[in-house]
Chain A
Amino acid sequence: MCGIYLDYQSASPVDPRVHEFMERYLSCDFGNPSALHSRGLAARAALEEARTKVAELINAEGPENIIFTGGVTEANNLAVRGVAQRNAGIGKKLLASSIEHISVLNPLKGLLKSGYELALVPVDSTGIIDLAQLESLISKETILTSVMYANSDIGTIEPIREVSDMVHERGMYLHVDATAAAGKIPLDVQKEGIDLLTLSSNDLYGPQGAGALYVKPGVRIQPVLFGGGQERGLRAGTENLYAIAGMGEAARLASLEKAIESSRLQAIRDGLIKEILTIEQSYLTGHPTLRLPHHASFRFSRIEGESILLTMDAMFNIQVSTGSACSSRTLEPSHVLLAIGLKHEQAHGSMVMTLGKENNPDQIPAIVNAVRKTVDRLRALSPL
């Protein structure tokens, strides 16, 4: 028994069709895409096929605008540092929403040492970026603004089109981390005016160890890794071929299936939210409607999230996630929960559920029952 898995945003299984597709790149067409023999050419063809499939998922101008990386962290680092360093002559101002992923925030902060300026744009209590603040912060020297498509801790979807208009009116480039959104909601980089966009393979049910950065034609960017000049010189290193091939196939399946799958998951998710919010002193975190279809996040007063996670797992074999300080390496609560205005002790009661392929509506009663029992049990232990 695998239990009921509700932590798809942390890690997802590989789709069996993707797994099958990848096999020949481990056993037969495993050549180095830079080699001239037939095995190398087959590998090159697989690489370019994957590029096309990923480009189609986000409606990129062409496959050449997709740069494969070793994952999301690397793609975000390339976007932030690659743009900042290449355009330092134009300006040194950087902007980001306060709820960006740490792999965006940390490279941005790292640039402060080199004379860049960083301002974080606040979000409201539902996690939506403050557009008035954003507008007031953008200037001619703002070379990069990074706003995620949707947030993985609270599920909130950002108004990217509006952000893009503001950025391009006065500033320069917009980077969008679409890790949590890709494969869940429609993405169109051209329609939304996105200059750089980060994608994850695993969030599409592809293998871990692959990611991609979309770079719009004409965007000035430089590499952060140096070596053999692969990926148009922007990401050196022999391509992780079978993972990239898998990511491509996962992107193709996502393009075909995401609409139906997302509405299926949304129905389950809505059922969970409705039932779980009947628990006393339970609250939804994030936006009530502008949220990812597979995402449900809560907080419960008087109890702590790591205890929730452990109880759900050990007692009910249900895997969830939390933004509580107690479960983080630094013992700091999720910066996202603090950014939406929660106090430390409120952030402690966080529980995040992200749904995926193996979830079905029949699981709702068992999940709700488990949450209810878990909350009761921990509240009985709590002095608050």
Chain B
Amino acid sequence: MAQIGYSKKVMEHFMNPKNVGVIENPDGYGKVGNPVCGDLMEIFIRVMDDRIDDIKFRTFGCGSAIAVSSMVTEMAKGKTLDEAMLITRKDVADELDGLPPQKMHCSNLGADALHAAIKNYWVKIGKIKPEEAKEEEESHEGEACGT
């Protein structure tokens, strides 16, 4: 029952989140979550030479959701888009020295928002079809709050 007690890393990122804010006219934009459950995360990316040159986020959610957003943006910054697509939900949780079990769904949001932003960019440049970008957003709809 590791409900309470976030790792030091989680608290660091929660208290001093990196890459907070908005990018005007972003190259890619991803938004996932469900405000009914309290989770809503959006990620903005600026792409240069196929790399994530700049990345920003805004999150409505718990301490874990905010820390995860901060961490995933740090992890993605400077990576090529293909590399960033390989960042998994688990990678984010691991980088934060773990999350309490019932908070794992928040870590899902981080990687999902990032992937959604990348796919949004790929759709814009015609690399993938819009249908292929839908996945992340849909994967959270209708999901119970606790999953």
Contact = CB atoms under 8 A, between A and B. Distances in A.
B3 interface: yes
B3 to A, nearest CB: 6
Interface stretch (A145-153, A186-194, A277-285, A304-312): A304-312
A348 B38 contact: yes
Interface string B62-82: 111110000000000000000
Contacts of B61: 304, 307, 326
B14 interface: yes
B42 interface: yes
A169 interface: no
B117 to A, nearest CB: 13
A326 B38 CA distance: 7
Interface residues of B, number: 28
B146 interface: yes
Interface stretch (A173-181, A198-206, A376-384): A376-384
Nearest to A326: B62
A315 B146 contact: no
A345 interface: yes
Contact of A325 (B20, B31, B38, B41): B38
Given A332-B145, A343-B36, 20 more contacts: A304-B61, A306-B63, A307-B61, A307-B63, A307-B66, A310-B6, A310-B11, A311-B15, A314-B15, A325-B38, A329-B3, A330-B146, A331-B37, A344-B37, A344-B38, A344-B145, A380-B20, A381-B60, A383-B31, A384-B35
28 contacts: A302-B60, A304-B60, A304-B65, A306-B62, A310-B14, A310-B63, A314-B15, A324-B62, A325-B38, A325-B145, A326-B62, A326-B64, A329-B1, A331-B37, A331-B146, A332-B146, A343-B36, A344-B37, A344-B145, A345-B38, A348-B38, A381-B58, A381-B60, A383-B42, A383-B58, A384-B35, A384-B40, A384-B60
Interface of B: 1, 3, 6, 11, 14-15, 17, 20, 31, 35-38, 40-42, 58-66, 102, 145-146
Contacts of A292: none
A381 B102 CA distance: 22
Nearest to B6: A310
Interface of A: 302-304, 306-307, 310-311, 314-315, 324-327, 329-332, 343-345, 348, 380-384
Contacts of A303: 60
B146 to A, nearest CB: 4
Nearest to A330: B146
Nearest to A324: B38
B60 to A, nearest CB: 5
Given A307-B66, A310-B14, A382 B59 contact: yes
B101 to A, nearest CB: 10
- Name the residue among B58, B60, B63 with the largest chain A CB count within 10 angstroms: B60
B146 A304 contact: no
Contact of A304 (B1, B38, B58): B38
A225 to B, nearest CB: 25
Contacts of B58: 381-383
B40 A331 contact: no
Nearest to B62: A326
Contacts of B41: 383
A290 to B, nearest CB: 29
B143 to A, nearest CB: 11
A370 to B, nearest CB: 14
B59 A383 contact: yes
Nearest to A325: B38
Contacts of B15: 311, 314-315
B37 A381 contact: no
- Name the residue among A302, A326, A343, A348 with the largest chain B CB count within 10 angstroms: A326
